[in-house]
Structure 1
Amino acid sequence: MSDIAIKAEQLSKYYRLGVINNGTLFRDIQSWIARKRGKIDPHSKIGDKYDGTIEGFWALKDLNFEIKQGDRVGIIGKNGAGKSTLLKILSRITAPTEGQVKIRGRVASLLEVGTGFHGELTGRENIYLNGAILGMKKKEVDRKLDEIIDFSGIEKHIDTPVKRYSSGMYVRLAFAVAAHLDSEILIADEVLAVGDAEFQKKALGKMNELSSGQGRTVLFVSHNMTAVKSLCNRGMILEKGELKFTSDNIDETIGKYQNLNVIKLSDSYVWNNIHNIKNDFITINNIKITNDSSSNIPEKIIIQGKTYFLKFNLSIKEKNPLLTLYYIIYNEYGIKVIESAFSDSGKDIGECLKEGENIVIAELPTKELMPGKYRIEVLSSIKNISYIIDYDTIEIPIEIDADEQKFPMYKNRNTVLYTKENWSIV
């Protein structure tokens, strides 16, 4: 008996851009005649142009994958990558344009706040409605009813029409229904982010229990890499509708996703002419990572416990006392670990720099960071006015390895920072 729960073959979805119709037949005919004559559509928005073609885009293109029963799959990617479109196809809300997907088992999905709920019905009635949609009999829902209501935590409001629910209450009840009704596949989109922290933790624990304890297949979409790591054992990366990467190791998938977002400017720790950034104040000629002897680092690995510096060679075109320069370090899951600014030294960089070429050095906190992959983001702004080097413009990937002779105990600790605080018995 096959253990494949979901199988996609050449799965594609195409969407046409723009308005499909104008609402009335007469206005549609006017638009059609104008296009035939090569004239502007009289019902188009001001500034719109028509070039005689119908434009569209592939939200998904040629996806091929298999998901086994009991897998917990994290689907990650940027906004617009096609994640929600894929889940809608798997939930049978929309049909693929090309290819096919084979699903073995009933699907319970939680895609948007209020999906599958009727606003005029009470929470209790909507539980039965969702059960009927999944093909369950009333007796089956009866057995689960008390458990669903208890898990949702909205007992006092269960007989209130859901149109009066807050978005958080919607999510609580919708997830409780999807998780407790008998389905073989559970699909959850980023909608869980609407819930409070306590409920998110509760929901992740429930999905883990369903997968490992009951053998259900879980598909989870989130931009929270910590949540994805805690729940999923497999990962898929979507980018512009294409399946860029898939792995049976969720850590490998998350690491790959973070690297996709990092601009690797060089194979060495020297970056020249950074993106040709142009502004009226500062030009970063190059950035180097150096060790305590001020020499360039030939390898791509930083050794934990040693001293390293971020060295900027920059030119000032016009002095400005409001100029700032700082960096942020993120771990491989996109969590901000440390932020450090020149002003932390007690001085304003705008006052200290001279017109022309300058060298600015910042010591990196490599003695405190645990082994792992990180990225350094460099930013600059005119304080409280505008960024002149914005987020995602300069990103530097680094990897820190343990000095196993000095710090053997830190090699596999699941944390970001460490300290040498002394322990004692009094």
Structure 2
Amino acid sequence: MSDIAIRVEGLSKQYRIGARRKAHNTLRDHLMSGLQSLWSRNGHQPPARNSGSVESAKPEVESTLFWALQDVSFDVKRGETVGIVGRNGAGKSTLLKLLSRITEPTSGRIEIDGRVAALLEVGTGFHNELTGRENIYLNGTILGMKRAEIPRQLDEIVAFSEVEQFLDTPVKRYSSGMTLRLAFAVAAHLNPEILIVDEVLAVGDAAFQKKCMGKMEGVAKEGRTIFFVSHNMPAVTRLCQRAILLEDGKLCRDGNSHEVVSAYLHSELGTMSAREWTDPLKAPRGEVAMLRAVRVCTSDGRSEEAFDIRKPVGLEMEYEVLKPGYKFMPSMELWNEEGVCLIDSIEYDPNWRGRVRPPGRYRSTAWIPGNYLAEGTLFVTVYLETVDPKIKQFYEKQVVAFSVVDSGEGDSARVDFAGKLRGVVRPRLDWNTVLNPENVQPERVTSEL
């Protein structure tokens, strides 16, 4: 058996946009057209249309051709977990629809070896008139499962989706959240060899997203193939060993997920560690303040994308106060690749605490000491709120990113260990080791927090 689960060669998809089809004729129009043809064949002049009638057929508008995907090729081995990243309109959802065989390619070929379960939109594959239970059996049958196999998975599906009370209710009466939970549970538990999941999980609440991520990690460990589209970069790097970057319908990068995500962030933000809004009309804003720039900087003020684990890191936010009379609370979050929030920090500057800030441009910088963060890619979220009343002015998620590198040299917390260290942070703690501790008077250690 080949170890290739999916093979894509020269895949392209073209759409015709701007075209407007002629309106459907009424029964009267069909009858009149038939009579006109009959009279014409017999040499008679067809009767004139009533001058007061409205012509139902509308002329077609000139159309243009649009390539959603162009000449995309790649192989996916069995058991691989692949993330698909790219900006809106890059072709991600089109690729998944082609892989799911929802639509046909314009050119190229796809070879798939294994059962495919796809979760592309809320309710995809569900029949609204059928109950939740009936839809589970329907989807299992579509996947090629025998009817006797499905009951063995039913209890797990119901438990995961948390819709037991409504299992025999038609799906058309489900909320979007209930439909999503059941759809994901069905796709993940009916043992497909290939699981395809689009950004649909973004509509779920945080607890459900965490539950789904845990399930997909379990599916991946079972050796099944997963295709995962998301704008959540920490989720992609956490779940996927490999990622594919699409841009304008073309495959522009394929490789290690951390490297591909780094390249995507770099291309999206201009520079991965800095972003600036030069046009005030496009800047994130509220009624009394707007965001102007975010940077990750060194101790001498340079924007930097990679930091030695021993060096301090500055998280810098520039914002503009537009109206007088308000107190502000600038804040920053730092997230790792696993979607864990490492730091949620509020500005602590005695010079401004509790004071009204006059209109003008401000720069607030939070400093993270060296030998504190762990290795990996980290993502910065910034937000600003007024105080009394508490009104959010902006909240920009994962606006910039940077990498922390531990070379193992010098005085890092790695010391002489060359393997992988666990932990979401890696502070270099003060250690004290003595020989024959029973003969040594313990030292009193004081610590200031």
TM-score (norm 2): 0.68
1:83 equivalent in alignment to 2:92: yes
Q: CA deviation at 1:365?
A: 2.6
* Match of residue 407, structure 1, among 409, 412, 415: 412
Q: Given that residues 264 and 397 in structure 1 are in contact (C-alpha distance below 8 angstroms), is that contact kept between their aligned partners in structure 2?
A: no
SS at match of 1:5: strand
* Match of residue 121, structure 1, among 98, 110, 130: 130
Equivalent runs, 1:3-18 vs 2, <5 Å: 3-18=3-18
Q: Given that residues 290 and 311 in structure 1 are in contact (C-alpha distance below 8 angstroms), is that contact kept between their aligned partners in structure 2?
A: no
SS at match of 1:245: strand
CA RMSD of aligned residues (A): 4.7
In structure 2, distance between residues paired with 1:311 and 1:138? 59
Number of equivalent positions: 389
1:97 equivalent in alignment to 2:106: yes
1:48 is matched with none
Q: CA deviation at 1:125?
A: 1.2
Deviation string 1:29-58 (CA, Å, 9 cap, x unpaired) is 4324xx6xxxxxxxxxxxxxxxxx523422
1:207 is matched with 216
Unaligned runs of 5+ in 2: 26-53, 282-288, 433-441
SS at match of 1:80: coil
Which range moves more in the overlay, 221-230 or 404-413?
A: 404-413
Name the aligned partner's letter for residue 20 of structure 1. Answer: R
Which range moves more in the overlay, 215-224 or 119-128?
A: 215-224
Deviation string 1:251-289 (CA, Å, 9 cap, x unpaired) is 3333333223222299xx9x9xx675569x999999995
1:263 equivalent in alignment to 2:270: yes
2:229 is matched with 221
SS at match of 2:58: helix
1:187 equivalent in alignment to 2:187: no
Name the aligned partner's letter for residue 267 of structure 2. Answer: L
CA 1:29/1:412 → structure 2, altered by over 3 Å: closer, same or farther? same
In structure 2, distance between residues paired with 1:192 and 1:126? 20
In structure 2, distance between residues paired with 1:205 and 1:229? 14
Q: Given that residues 277 and 283 in structure 1 are in contact (C-alpha distance below 8 angstroms), is that contact kept between their aligned partners in structure 2?
A: no
Equivalent runs, 1:273-292 vs 2, <5 Å: 277=279, 289=297, 291=299
In structure 2, distance between residues paired with 1:246 and 1:409? 31
In structure 2, distance between residues paired with 1:361 and 1:149? 49
Q: CA deviation at 1:237?
A: 1.8
1:250 is matched with 257
Name the aligned partner's letter for residue 74 of structure 1. Answer: G
1:73 is matched with 82
In structure 2, distance between residues paired with 1:27 and 1:163? 38
1:231 is matched with 239
In structure 1, distance between residues paired with 2:174 and 2:318? 56
SS at match of 1:31: coil
In structure 2, distance between residues paired with 1:221 and 1:136? 26
Which range moves more in the overlay, 110-119 or 217-226?
A: 217-226
2:41 is matched with none
Which range moves more in the overlay, 359-368 or 144-153?
A: 359-368
1:346 equivalent in alignment to 2:353: yes
Name the aligned partner's letter for residue 405 of structure 1. Answer: G
Q: Given that residues 324 and 342 in structure 1 are in contact (C-alpha distance below 8 angstroms), is that contact kept between their aligned partners in structure 2?
A: no
In structure 2, distance between residues paired with 1:140 and 1:290? 59
Which range moves more in the overlay, 62-71 or 221-230?
A: 221-230
Q: Given that residues 329 and 374 in structure 1 are in contact (C-alpha distance below 8 angstroms), is that contact kept between their aligned partners in structure 2?
A: no
Q: CA deviation at 1:89?
A: 0.7
Equivalent runs, 1:274-353 vs 2, <5 Å: 277=279, 289=297, 291=299, 295=300, 301-304=306-309, 306=311, 328=332, 331=335, 333=337, 337=343, 345-346=352-353, 351=358
CA 1:21/1:330 → structure 2, altered by over 3 Å: closer, same or farther? farther
Q: Given that residues 234 and 250 in structure 1 are in contact (C-alpha distance below 8 angstroms), is that contact kept between their aligned partners in structure 2?
A: yes
In structure 1, distance between residues paired with 2:112 and 2:67? 22
SS at match of 1:408: coil
Q: Given that residues 122 and 176 in structure 2 are in contact (C-alpha distance below 8 angstroms), is that contact kept between their aligned partners in structure 1?
A: yes
Unaligned runs of 5+ in 1: 36-52
Q: Given that residues 100 and 118 in structure 2 are in contact (C-alpha distance below 8 angstroms), is that contact kept between their aligned partners in structure 1?
A: yes
Larger Rg belongs to: 2
